[in-house]
Amino acid sequence: MNHPIIRFLALSLGLLSSASGQFDLTGAADTAKVKASIVSEVKAAVPGQSFRVAVKLVHEEHWHTYGKELPPEVIGKPTKLKWTLPEGWTVEELPWPATKEVDSTDGKKSQGYEGTVYLPVKITATGKAGDASQISVKVDALACNPQNCMPVKPEATLSLMLADKVEIDPSSAAVFGTATVAAVAAPIVAVAPPAAAAAKTAERSFFGYLIFAFLGGLILNIMPCVFPVLGIKIMSVVQQAGEDKKQVLLHGLAYTLGILLCFWALGGLVIALGKTWGFQLQSPGFVYGLCVFFLIFGLNMAGLFEIGASAVGVGAELQAKHGLSGSFFSGLLATVVATPCSAPFLGSALGYTVTLPAPQAMLMFTMIGVGLASPFLVLSLLPNLVSALPRPGAWMESFKQAMSFLLFGTVAFLAWVLTGMIEGQPLLFLLFSLVIIALGCWIYGRWSLPHKPSRTRLMAVLLTLGCLVGGMTFGWPKVEKGEVNEGSHIEGGLTWEAWSPEKAEQLRAEGKAVYIDYTAKWCFTCQVNKRVYKDLALQKLIADKKVVLLKADWTNEDSRITKALSDLGKAAVPVNVLYLPSKPEPIVLPELLSVDNVSEAINQVNL
């Protein structure tokens, strides 16, 4: 096991001792090669005033770590500092010392730190004089020598007192110089704003993202999540043909208002909770509720039962009495079911939205809503188009029943989404519950008819409610937590490995090209993108370039994926990125993949 690559892999997994080459069954990382401590320019700090501290790294002879950022030609891992501070304290990064040429593996040269180095930051304390506080730091780095590399994570802690007057630590003068604390309190260096995602997307104008938001909302209309609702609204327009044009316009405005109010509520919730687009679709109960809703509504449109004179909107009886209310609730429904579909243009716009101040973010959500509502709104604003539609007639019943298959398709899609959330016997019970609910709908349509005796109708209603309540109780999703499968699987002719931050960092540290597919079962665009991977020429290119494929499945909520998306300036899937061995920043591919744009990215991998 003396080959450098084999040794590095073993050390990365904590299986070997770096000194003796013997097995280490504890799995603990060897941090003896790099030791960490914290030095401060003050012994006592004043609340509200800034002071500098530095992480002191002492490297064992012949070992080195890397800087905050890596030059394009350097293969390694950037060093990161993870601070733990008292509540209310803040930390700002300061420029680190320049790296120097060091001896790396396989006789190559690299850029890094060796010997003793100080990595400074600026800290601002809060509290009151007399408080004793403690700060700690964990260093996440890769330590290398001419033979091999290993991950190291040394930790250090420092205790400080808060006082009415600053007490300088003269022993730290050699580290921080002789600058006074008053000078330190002023900004030492221009620090990038904390919203890294905003900085990454600054090159695009706010107006440009508004256009993307509108186009994304417009394209949502043809997604399988939304198209059934749009089809239902077409039914109402057909019925309104030849009616008062002002009423048709009011229906369009009511539909638009329903969409906008729902988008405003959803936008406010996303901003307030810091959640991401489509987060409600990560709830098995919510997806199951949509599944039941569309099943019942589809059976109604298929003619199995009737709950009112109109089949448009949410709550047909409400629609029959108050048509504008039906249009309004149809707009609400369109928004609810739109969120699993991050259409092209929409992913970038949403990623940008979560980095904006609240007023601008709400404007972005408004533009998405306007895009979603625009087809029906335009139809309402141009009454000539409505008048050109066919007149109501017997054909409408066939058209209505045909439209029900769109809803059944949505039920099938949502049931498939649920297979990524639950499994085993609970999934079987869930599918049977849909059968029980359908039985209840049949009972209602068969015996709850106006010409039936009142007792028969009452029994039919009771049995229907029993099937609905019993079915949903029997089949309500029960997530059984088990071991996470970290193995590989074959999909589309390619071998994918399960993504994790540690896995991605390890592969990058080994100098491999890494392609990450952030996806989810409830994301229809993600499923469309999978067609690209079946291309034989692309499969050969991936194999020739030795690209490692990782799949980050966001079907269920995963805070690690949420953070990874946020770091990329994204708030929705699909997101596909390629990390090149020679570059710290990834290539972010378009939301809608093609063989050409994926091949173009992978061709940048240099072996």
pLDDT of residue 435: 93
In the predicted structure, residue 141 carries a pLDDT above the cut 80: yes
Give the DSSP per-residue string, 392-418: PSTHHHHHHHHHHHHHHHHHHHHHHHH
| 278 lies in the same domain as 316 | yes
Q: How far apart are CA 99 and CA 97, in angstroms?
A: 6
Residue 511 lies in a domain: yes
Give the CATH number, domain containing residue 119.
2.60.40.10
Asked if residue 257 lies in contact with residue 377, where contact means CB atoms within 8 angstroms, the answer is: no
Of 285, 292, 286, the C-alpha closest to 434 is 292
Which residues have a Cβ under 8 Å from the Cβ of 606 and sit 6 or more positions away? Answer: 580, 581, 582
The last residue of one of the domains, among 175, 191, 207, is 191
Top pLDDT among 164 and 37 is at 37
| 187 lies in the same domain as 214 | no
| 221 lies in the same domain as 367 | yes
Residue 469 lies in a domain: no
Give the CATH number, domain containing residue 513.
3.40.30.10
Top pLDDT among 351 and 104 is at 104
Q: Give the bridge partners for 37, in sequence order.
A: 56
| 266 lies in the same domain as 357 | yes
| 178 lies in the same domain as 256 | no
pLDDT of residue 318: 38
Residue 64 lies in a domain: yes
Residue 141 lies in a domain: yes
Q: How many domains does the chain have?
A: 3
| 181 lies in the same domain as 53 | yes
Q: What is the pLDDT of residues 531-579, one digit of tens each?
A: 899 899 999 999 999 999 999 988 877 888 988 888 887 877 889 999 9
Residue 109 lies in a domain: yes
In the predicted structure, residue 16 carries a pLDDT above the cut 60: no
| 179 lies in the same domain as 322 | no
The last residue of one of the domains, among 375, 395, 422, is 422
Domain assignment of residue 385, given as a range: 199-422
In the predicted structure, residue 598 carries a pLDDT above the cut 90: yes
| 187 lies in the same domain as 213 | no
| 207 lies in the same domain as 126 | no
Q: What is the pLDDT of residues 426-470, one digit of tens each?
A: 777 888 999 999 999 999 988 888 788 888 889 989 999 999 999
In the predicted structure, residue 414 carries a pLDDT above the cut 70: yes
Residue 318 lies in a domain: yes
Residue 142 lies in a domain: yes
Could you count the other beta carbons within 10 Å of the beta carbon of residue 164?
Answer: 10
| 238 lies in the same domain as 187 | no
| 136 lies in the same domain as 206 | no
Query: What is the average per-residue pLDDT within 322-347?
Result: 59
Of the ranges 204-208, 346-350, 372-376, 548-552, the best mean pLDDT one:
548-552
Residue 434 lies in a domain: no
| 312 lies in the same domain as 328 | yes
The last residue of one of the domains, among 386, 404, 422, is 422
pLDDT of residue 132: 83
Asked if residue 572 lies in contact with residue 510, where contact means CB atoms within 8 angstroms, the answer is: no
